[in-house]
Amino acid sequence: MATLNVAEVVHELGRLGATDRAVAFRLLAKDRAVEVFEDLDPALQAELVASLHGHAAAIFAALDPDDRAALLDEVPAGVARRLLAALPPDEHAATTALLGYPEDSAGRRMSPEVVAVPVGTTVGDTIAQVRAAGDDAETVYVVPVVADGRRVRGVVSLRRLVLTDPATPVDAVMSPATTVRATDDAEHAANVVRDGGFVGVPVVDGEDRLVGVLTVDDAMRVLEAEDDEDSARTGGAEPLRRPYLSVSVLGLVRSRVVWLLMLIVAASLTVGVQSYFEDELAQVVALALFVPLLIGTGGNAGSQAATTVVRASAVGDVRTGDVARVVGREMLTGLLLGLTLATVGVGPAMLVAGPAIGLVLALTVVAVCTLATTVGSSVPLLAKRVGIDPAIVSAPFISTFVDTTGLIVYFSIAKAVLGI
């Protein structure tokens, strides 16, 4: 292929600096520019809009209402007002309706321009309505069937419509609808779309009335953004919210420095603990040799448990009601892991450090692994229960916490066994 397709152009733009990107974007033909713009990250869209002046309003008007709402979240308030004001009245109404839903809700991400038909409509008439909507409706692959004030009674796919005799009433061929609430968390709604393998899912208000459809491509974007966020926080940083190479070095520093500072403050507890046991350390310097190994192992066991539980909770395999069951399983897992490591490692440890310190190490490994998996699994789930993103209190915080408590366990066992 001689020319790049839209996805490739989007990718290449994401790798350029802001100025080069603006120049490259202006070189695109108008129709292509709109397609490319639609697929860019909202953060990059916002930058482009700021640099496009006159062209911005035309491109903005060509977007779907949900893409418009996402962009408005990114640009400064003054720019947002100007862009909204330039919209034709009906587009304006569709966009402000979306902005009425809370951020990160399904309502913000849905397509409000939906073809829906009342119960009793024939398949032929339904197809005619799809035709009449033309390119205005963002999705026509899922047609909700409604009754009684837009309450959803079922859905019929465009595929089913094409396969069915036109005189059949839609109710005869519709399937029961899986719906989500407009106020539902967007991630939950996107999981519903993915788990069911749907092309789209009707979105309803508090009284079960149809307000839009969450389409599969919007769901995929929601999940990608959530995965970005979980992945960044698991690594102890804030999500970048835009392609890596388009972020400046200062931007990278900004996404990480607060986490590092918080973690270093938490880690300074380890200094306190070791100062408290300084006499024992001075008496048996050999104890110091194994500190990095022990706290490293505790950190690893804790981060395994935390990562597993955070992920299981993100995909919906584990719910907040499962805390006791999950923590019980993880505690037992940690105990078995600790016993395995102690059994395998006790020989070499005794050879290196003598039988007494070898025993201390073996006992500490068992205790620290059990502690780490217990903390690593319970803290994220408890955080979720009180409304904190479980990914925030994941691996790095667990490691730091386990470092401190692990040291207390280590020196306490050493004091008891060695009699110091």
In the region spanning residues 242 to 271, those forming contacts with a second copy, defined by CB under 8 A, are 243-245, 249-250, 252-253, 256-257, 259-261, 263-264, 267-268, 270-271
| Binds a second copy (CB under 8 A): choice among 162, 172, 388, 416 | 162
To a second copy, the closest distance from the beta carbon of 252 in angstroms equals 5
Number of residues that bind a second copy (CB under 8 A): 117
CA distances, 98 to each of 66, 76, 205, 358 (Å): 7, 18, 12, 64
Rule CB under 8 A: say whether 39 interacts with a second copy. yes
To a second copy, the closest distance from the beta carbon of 78 in angstroms equals 30
| Binds a second copy (CB under 8 A): choice among 16, 79, 158, 346 | 158
To a second copy, the closest distance from the beta carbon of 293 in angstroms equals 5
Rule CB under 8 A: say whether 228 interacts with a second copy. yes
Binders of a second copy in range 320-359 (CB under 8 A): 322, 325-326, 329-330, 332-333, 336-337, 340-341, 344-345, 348, 352
Minimum CB distance to a second copy smaller for 103 or for 279: 279
At 151, which helix (H) or strand (E)? strand 151-157
What gap in Å lies between CA 206 and CA 209, rounded to an integer? 7
To a second copy, the closest distance from the beta carbon of 186 in angstroms equals 15
User: Residues 360-399 vs a second copy: string with x where CB under 8 A?
Assistant: -----------------------------------xx--x
Minimum CB distance to a second copy smaller for 80 or for 338: 338
What gap in Å lies between CA 310 and CA 236, rounded to an integer? 14
Minimum CB distance to a second copy smaller for 46 or for 152: 152
| Binds a second copy (CB under 8 A): choice among 149, 197, 387, 419 | 197
To a second copy, the closest distance from the beta carbon of 359 in angstroms equals 16
Binders of a second copy in range 198-217 (CB under 8 A): 198-199, 216-217
Minimum CB distance to a second copy smaller for 57 or for 336: 336
What gap in Å lies between CA 31 and CA 35, rounded to an integer? 7
The residues, ordered by sequence, that sit 6+ positions from 191 with a Cβ below 8 Å of its Cβ are 223, 315, 316
Rule CB under 8 A: say whether 76 interacts with a second copy. no
- Per DSSP, the three-state class of 150 is coil
Minimum CB distance to a second copy smaller for 76 or for 317: 317
Burial status of residue 345 (CB atoms within 10 A of its CB: 0-12, 13-18, 19 or more): middle
Q: Which stretch binds a second copy (CB under 8 A): 24-32, 45-53, 98-106, 278-286?
A: 278-286
For residues 147 and 186, is the Cβ–Cβ distance under 8 A? no
For residues 202 and 210, is the Cβ–Cβ distance under 8 A? yes
- Rounded to a whole number, what is the distance in angstroms from the first to the last CA of the chain? 75
At 266, which helix (H) or strand (E)? helix 249-276
Rule CB under 8 A: say whether 24 interacts with a second copy. no
Rule CB under 8 A: say whether 296 interacts with a second copy. yes
At 144, which helix (H) or strand (E)? strand 142-147
Rule CB under 8 A: say whether 2 interacts with a second copy. no
To a second copy, the closest distance from the beta carbon of 247 in angstroms equals 9
Return the structure tokens found at 324.
Answer: 């006791």
For residues 107 and 101, is the Cβ–Cβ distance under 8 A? yes
Q: Which stretch binds a second copy (CB under 8 A): 26-34, 44-52, 143-151, 307-315?
A: 307-315
Minimum CB distance to a second copy smaller for 80 or for 378: 378
Rule CB under 8 A: say whether 11 interacts with a second copy. yes
SS (H, E, C) 365-409: HHHHHHHHHHHHHHHHHHHHHCCCCHHHHCHHHHHHHHHHHHHHH
Closest to 227 in 3D by CA, of 191, 256, 175: 191
DSSP 8-state secondary structure symbol assigned to residue 105? B
> What is the per-residue DSSP string for 70-94?
HHHTTS-HHHHHHHHHTS-HHHHHH
Binders of a second copy in range 168-187 (CB under 8 A): 176, 178
